[in-house]
Each structure stands twice: as C-alpha cells, then as structure tokens.
Structure 1
Amino acid sequence: MASVDVPVALLGYGTVGAAVHRLLEESADEIERATGHRLRVTHALVRDTAKERGFAPDASVVTDDLDGILRDDSIQVVAEVMGGVEPAGDYVLRLLRAGRPVVTANKQLVARHGAELFEAAAAGGVQLRFEASVCAAIPVIKVLRESLIVTNVHQVLGIVNGTTNFILSAMEKGRSYGDALAEAQRLGFAEADPTEDVAGLDAAAKTAILATVAFGSRVPIDWVGVEGIEHVTLDHVAAAHALGMHVKLIGRASLVGDRVDVRVGPAFVDGHHPLAAVEGAFNAVMLQGDAIREITLEGPGAGGIETASAVVADMVSIVGTTGTGFLQNDPVWRSLERLPPGDLASPFYLRLEVEDRAGVLARIAQELAAEEVSVAQLVQQPSDGHAVLHIVTHEASAGRVAGALQAIRALPEARGEASAMPVISGRGVAELGWA
C-alpha cells in the first residue's frame, strides 16, 4: 500500500517543538508501518524567524505567518507547543473553526478554556487532543476517555508535577528546601522562576483537566483549592518518616455523590500507598472506580522529549482514525456541583508548637473537640523550652480541621505556626497503628 503524505504544522519551535520535529523524522518509518501515513513538518510558526535553533528546520519551514498556515489546505494536523494562554488560545480557536485538527500540550489553555475549544472543534468537525497537557508520556487521558469510559471513576490521586516531587524527594535525603530547589533548577527540572510549580499552580491546572475527563463534568480551575510546597520543612519530612509516610504534593479529585471536590496540596502519604514510592521528577496517577478498584500509571511527567512523545502519539491517533474520531467529542456530558470547600473528610496530621506547661494539652484537646476532630495519636516532643505536638486525627472534614487550627493559633500558649496536612492511605487508622 502506498504511503499517504501528511503535511503537519507546529505552533512554536522551542524545546518541545524541536523534539516533536525530531521524533517525527526519526520515527517516520515506524509511524508509516503503523498507520500508512508519513507525517512531514511543513510549517513551524515562530516569533523570530532568524533565531538559531537546535534540530533546525529548513528555512522554508520556519514562518511567522499564522494566516499562511490557515490558508494552506494541505496541512492535515497542527500541534500547538508554544505555551501560554495567549496568543496560543486565539490561534487554536481559529484553526479548529477552520476545520484543522489540533493537538496541544498546553495545560493552562485546556484547563481555562476547554469548553470553548471543544465547541470550536465540534463546529469545525475535527479532533482536539491534549494528552501532553497533563502528564507528558503517561497516557492517562487516553486511558480515562477510552479504556475506562464505563468504570465510574470516583477518585483521582496524582503526583502530577515532577519539579515538586524532585524537591520533596531531595528533602527526604536531608536537603533543605532551598538547596533542593537550586538543584532542581541546575538539572533543568525547575524554571528560573519556579512559582508555577512550587506554588501548586501547574498541578492545579492538570488536576482540573483530570477531574473534568474522569467525572464527565466541567471543573473550572478556580474550583481547585491550591497549596504549594513552599512551607514544607524538614521537620514535616522527619515527622512523616517517623510515621512511616512520605510528604508528596498530591492532586486529588473526588466525586462525592453528585458533587466534586478538587484540591492540590502537600500530604502525608502512607508508605504502603502506591504513590509513596514515586521519587524524583517522575509522575504517577491513581484512578479509583467501581469496576476497576484502582489502577496506577507512572512515568516521566516532564521534559521536552517526554512531552513530545505524547504530542506525536496524539498526532498519529488523529491521522490513524477515520473521520473525526471518538475524541472529537467533549468529555463533558453532565453538570456536577462543587462540594462546599472544607467538606471533604480524611485523616490529618497536625503539627503544633505550644508552651510546655501543665494544662496546655487540655486546651488543645478542647479546641479540637469543639470542632469534632478526634485524636488518633499524639506525640509530644520537647524543643527549646516549648513543646512540639505531632497529632494524627481520625477522619475529619478539612473545614473542621481548619477551624480548630484557627482557634489553636489564637491561644496564648501557641508558639510558631500550626500546620495541617491530609493523610493519604488505603488503610484505616486502626490498620496504621494509630487507634
């Protein structure tokens, strides 16, 4: 059978764009054997056409004219790898409305404007694919949308940011937060401005996308409760280790009845839990549902070549399917409400610093009891004239725990900053030895 020539365009030609181009050329024979198509980059949209680039495309390929791409009817698929919400969003909308299938690696764009993008794809009768927007080489979107479509997924737990996982893994080896961040930057795992990663914003966008696809309901990014790792200390890491746990930045999406709770923040993860063993810059996503109980997908979640592999896989899926294909459809098929913030329950770890004198524990217990927060385990540790309390609670709502912490911080006996982290475990408090 004769090979079908497939001209493709790239929007952006940075690290990921160059890696996509290289993969398409180096894997051209494998793609042709699998699909009967040979993908060929004919346009690469850039801001500066004179800039020198690694794996440089032919001069005839480089362009700064989007209209030229829109006018060229030979182009069969476009990959958006430029990043940023604008102008990328405008470009993708124009292409979809013009009947061009688009692959994107842009998590912020999909999380913030997914509804508009899928409406444009439907109007144009084309596919929009976005596997690379979440966990790079881990095919979690494809698994959710195709393999698990009838499993009634009710919870997604994920380590979806490699930068923060690298930092926290380094802190487990005794490195300070600042040293671990500097090492991540030196190795290219963190940007010069790491705010989007360490503040949890990157993970929030990815978790919103995962929740939208998993639950079939639009989850706006402003529904995601976000806390980063900036305030995680070696004391937290040591306390987790003493309890047989690990501190991880967890994206958590839960379906509770007909309501959705989505949040990102540091958590104590039980050492027996599959996510506890994920180290370094790796990502992992656990999916829990009625028909599957649970499955975990793990792999590299960042890097140019890893992201590029997901982009190329989506491009191959588009040219290898007939017509508009299953994934043309918006994954959203129902409207769910947001669970009121603070209503989701779990066990919690609390770290409190207080005066070391008689009656203080009774005051702490009183404030916890007032919010119906029950103590499963308490360890008191002397420290420079005061006491550090390590408390593990039975399951309690996040709102109740926050209320108790607010009251405890106001006590005259309080010293330092009281903090709380949810506990992630497949075992109950009694099984963990805390009852």
Structure 2
Amino acid sequence: MPSVDVPVALLGYGTVGASVHRLLEEQGDEIERATGHRLRVVRALVRDADKERRFAPATGVLTTDPADVLGDSSLAIVAEVMGGVEPAGPYVLELLASGRSVVTANKQLVARRGAELFAAAASSGAQLRFEASVCAAIPVIKVLRESLVSTNVHKIVGIVNGTTNFVLSAMDEGRTYAQALAEAQELGYAEADPTDDVGGGDAAAKLAILSTVAFGSRVPLEWVAVEGIEGVTQEHVRAARALDMRVKLLARATLADGRVDARVGPAFVDVRHPLAAVEGPFNAVMLQGDAIREITLEGPGAGGIETASAVVADLVSIVGTTGTGFLQDDPVWHELERLPPGDLASPWYLRLEVEDRAGVLERLAHELASEGVSVARLVQQPVDGHATLHVVTHEAPAGRVDRALAAIRALPESRGDAIAIPVVSQRGVENLGWA
C-alpha cells in the first residue's frame, strides 16, 4: 500500500517546535512503517524568519504571515507550540472550525479555553489533542482517556512541575531557596522569570486539565486553590526531615460526594510514599480509581525534546485514528460542583511559636480541640524562653484548621506566625514516627 503524504504546519518554531521538526525528520521511516503516513513539516509560523536556529528548516518553510498557515486548506494537521493564550487561541479556534486537527502543548490555552476549543472541534469533526500540555513525555492524558475510561478515577495526586521539584530537591540537599532557584536557571530547568512555575500557576493549569479529563466535568482554572513554593525555607525542609517526610509541591484533585476539590501547594510527603522519591526535574502522577486502586506514571515532565515527543505522538495518533471515535470528543460529559475550599480533610503539620511557660500547651490544645482538630504527634523545641512546636494532626478539614490557627495567633503567648502544611501519607499519621 502506498504511503500517504501528510503536510504538517507548526505554530511556533522555538525549542519545542524545532524538536518536533527534528523528530519527524529522524523518525519519519518508523512513523511511516507504523501508520502508512509520511508527516512533513511544510510551514512554520514565527515572529522572526531570519533568526538563527539549531535545526534549520528548508527554505520557504518559515513564515511570519499567519495567513500562510490559517489560509492553506492543504494543511490538515497543525501543531501549536507557540504558547500563550493570545494569539494562539484565535489561531487554534480558526483551524478547528475549518475542520483541521490541532495538537497543542499549550496548558494555559487548554485550561482556560478548553470548552471553546472542543466545541469548535466537535462542530467540524476535527481532532484536538493536548498530551504535551500536561506532563510532556508522560502519557497521562492518553491513559486517562483510553486505558482508564471506565475506571471511575476519583483522586489525582502529582508532581507536575519539574522546576519546583528540582528546587525543592536541591533544598533537601542543603541549598537555600535562592541558591536552588539560581541553579535551576543555570541548568535550564527554570525560566529567567520563573513566576509561573514557583508561584504554582503552571501546576494549577495542568491540574485543571487533568481533573477535567479524569472526572468528566469541566474544572475551571479558577477552582484550583494555588500556593507556590516562594515561602518554603530550610526550616520547613528540616522539620519535614525530622518527621521522616519531604517537602514537595503537589497538585491534588479529589472527587468527593459528587463535588471536586482541586489545589496546588507545598505538602509534607511521607518518605514511604511513592512521590517522596521523585527527585530533580522529574514529574509523577498518581491516579486512584475504583477498578485500578492506584497507579503511578513517572518520567521527564519538561524539556524541548520530551515535550516534542508527546506532540509527535499526538500527530501520529491523529493520522492513525481519523474519524474513528471518542478521542475527537470533549472529555466532559456531566457537571460537578466545587467542594467548598475548607471542607476537604487531611492530616496536617503545624508549626507554632509560643512562650515557653506553664499552661501554654493546655491553651493550644484547647483551641485545636474546640475546632475538632486532634493531635497525633508533638515535638517541642525550647529556645531562649520561647518554644517551637512541631505538631502532626489527625485528619481535619482545612477550614477547621484555619480557624484554630487564627485563634492561636490571637493568644498573648503566641510568637511568630502559626502555619499549616498538609501531610500526605499512606500509612496513617500514627505510624509516621520521628527521626
């Protein structure tokens, strides 16, 4: 059977775009053998066609005119790797509305405008694929949409940002936050402006996408409670180690009683938990469901070639499955409500600074007990007339913990700011032990 020639266009030709082109060139024979299609990059939209590039395309491929891509009906498949919501959003919508399939690596676009994109694809019969928008080379979207379609996934816990995981891993080895971030930037794991990564915005967009696909209901980005790692210090890292835990930035989504809770923030992770061992720029996603109990997908979650591999896999899937089924459809099939932010229960690590004198512990215990927060473990470190208390609680709703801490902060014996960090463990806080 003769091979089918498939012209492909790229929106963007930076690190990821160039890597997509290179993979299609280098692996073209293997792709053709597997699919019967030869994928060729024939157009790439760029801002500056004269810029020097490591993998230079043939003459005539680069263009600065969007009409050369948007107006060319012979380009049946387009990969969007330019990033940002504007102008990528209007470009992708126009392509989908005209019946052309799109692969995107753009997490912010899918998280913010996914409903519009899928509506346009459904109307025209085009495909929209977005594996690379979440965890680069880790095929978590494919697993959720295909392998686990009947599994009833009800919980997602993951490390989905390589920059923050590298920084926290370096801090665990003794570097300060500033030193760890500078090292990440030097090695190319962090952008010159790392705000979206360290502030949690990148992970939040990915979690909104994962939650939408896993739960079959639109989870808007606004539903994701976000806290970054800018406030994590060596004191937090040392406290976690003393509790036989590690500090990780976790993305967590839970389906409870037909309602969704989604949040990104630092957590103390038990060293026996699979995510505690994920180091450096790697990502990992744990999925829990009725039929599977629990599975973990781990691998490189960032990088040009890693992201490009996911883009190419989606391109190959499109030419192999055109017109065949549910992957063309919006993963959303029902509407779930948002769980009130303070309702989800978790064990907690509390750090409290108080005067070191008689009766203070009793006052603290009273404030915690009045909100139904039960103490599982406590360590007291006296220093110069003050005491730092490291507390691990049993499961308690976040709202109750917040109210208890507000009352503790108001006590005349309180010194410094009382903080709470969720604890993630699979063996129960009673069995965590102390180092």
CA distance in 2, matches of 1:324, 1:50: 41
Q: How does 1:303-342 map to 2 (within 5 A)?
A: 303-323=303-323, 325-342=325-342
CA displacement at 1:326 relative to structure 2: 2.6
> 1:263 is paired with a residue of what secondary structure?
strand
Q: How does 1:278-289 map to 2 (within 5 A)?
A: 278-289=278-289
Higher deviation after alignment, 65-74 or 265-274: 65-74
Quick check: 1:284–1:299 contact (8 Å CA) kept in 2?
Answer: yes
- RMSD of Structure 2 on Structure 1 (CA): 1.1
TM norm structure 1: 0.98
Corresponding residue for residue 364 of structure 2? 364
For the 8 Å contact 1:152–1:290, the answer to whether it is kept is yes
Alignment partners' CA distance in 2, 1:325 and 1:333: 15
The sequence identity of aligned pairs, in percent, is: 78
Aligned counterparts, 1:413-432, within 5 A? 413-432=413-432
1:337-356: CA deviation from partner (whole Å, max 9, x where unpaired): 00011100010000111111
Counterpart residue identity of residue 81, structure 1: V
Q: Is the 8 A contact 1:111 1:205 kept in 2?
A: yes
Given the alignment of the two structures, is residue 78 of structure 1 paired with residue 83 of structure 2, yes or no? Answer: no
Distance 1:409 1:58 in 2: 65
Please identify, of 233-242 and 126-135, the stretch whose mean Cα deviation from structure 2 is larger.
233-242
State whether structure 2 residue 263 is matched by structure 1 residue 263. yes
Q: Give 2:128's aligned residue.
A: 128
Q: Do the aligned residues in 1 keep the contact of 2:11 with 2:80 (CA within 8 Å)?
A: yes
Runs of 4+ in structure 1 off by over 4 angstroms are: none
Hey, what's the Cα distance between the residues in 1 that align with 2:410 and 2:174? 32
Deviation string 1:181-206 (CA, Å, 9 cap, x unpaired) is: 00001001011111101111100000
Q: Residue 398 of structure 1 aligns to which amino acid in structure 2? A: A
One-letter code aligned to 2:365: A
Secondary structure of 2:417 counterpart: strand
Rounded Cα–Cα distance in structure 2 between residues aligned with 1:354 and 1:174: 27
Task: State the partner residue of 1:51.
Answer: 51
- Secondary structure at the residue paired with 1:416? coil
CA distance in 2, matches of 1:384, 1:133: 51
2:90 corresponds to:
90
For residues 239 and 118 of structure 1, what CA distance do their matches in structure 2 show?
Answer: 45
Tell me, in whole angstroms, the C-alpha distance in 1 between the residues paired with 2:165 and 2:150.
Answer: 31
Q: Please state how far the C-alpha of 1:3 moved relative to its aligned partner.
A: 1.3
For the residues of structure 2 that align with 1:402 and 1:414, how far apart are their CA atoms? 15
Q: Distance in 1 between matches of 2:165 and 2:70?
A: 40
Bigger drift between 88-97 and 361-370 goes to 361-370
Contact 2:152/2:290 (8 A) holds in 1: yes
1:171 matched to which residue of 2? Answer: 171
| Aligned: 1:138 with 2:138 | yes
Please state how far the C-alpha of 1:433 moved relative to its aligned partner. 4.4
Deviation, structure 1 residue 301: 0.2
- Aligned equivalents of 1:169, 1:10: Cα separation in 2: 35
What is the CA–CA distance in structure 2 between the aligned matches of 1:173 and 1:68, rounded to whole Å?
A: 51
C-alpha contact 2:216 2:333 (8 A) present in aligned 1: yes
Q: Does the 8 A contact of 1:70 with 1:98 survive in 2?
A: no
Residues 15-164 of structure 1 mapped to structure 2, 5 A cutoff: 15-164=15-164
Q: CA deviation at 1:324?
A: 5.5
Amino acid paired to 1:320: G
- Amino acid corresponding to residue 32 of structure 1 in structure 2: E
Range with bigger deviation, 149-158 or 351-360 = 351-360
After superposition, the C-alpha distances for 1:53-94 in whole angstroms (9 at most, x for unaligned) are 221112300112222223322212100000001000010000
How far apart are 1:214 and its partner, in Å? 0.4
**CA–CA separation in structure 2 for the residues paired with 1:384 and 1:33:** 73
Counterparts in 2 of 1:302 and 1:384: CA distance versus 1, 3 Å: farther
Q: What stretches of structure 2 of length at least 5 have no aligned partner?
A: none
User: CA 1:384/1:60 → structure 2, altered by over 3 Å: closer, same or farther?
Assistant: farther
Please say which of residues 282-291 and 383-392 is displaced more in the overlay.
383-392
Match of 2:321, SS state, is coil
- Give deviations 1:199-224, integer Å, cap 9, x for gaps: 11100000111100000000000000
Cα deviation 1:207-258 (Å, max 9, x = unaligned): 1111000000000000000011111111111111111111100000000011
Structure 1 position 32, deviation (Å)? 0.6
Whether the 8 Å contact between 2:11 and 2:44 is mirrored in structure 1 is yes
Q: Distance in 2 between matches of 1:219 and 1:60?
A: 42
- What is the aligned partner in structure 1 of residue 8 from structure 2? 8
Output one character per residue of 1:11-39: Cα deviation in whole Å (capped at 9) or x when no partner.
Answer: 00011001101111011011011101110
> Between Structure 1 and Structure 2, how many residues are aligned?
434
Q: Matches of 2:412 and 2:59 in 1, distance apart?
A: 70
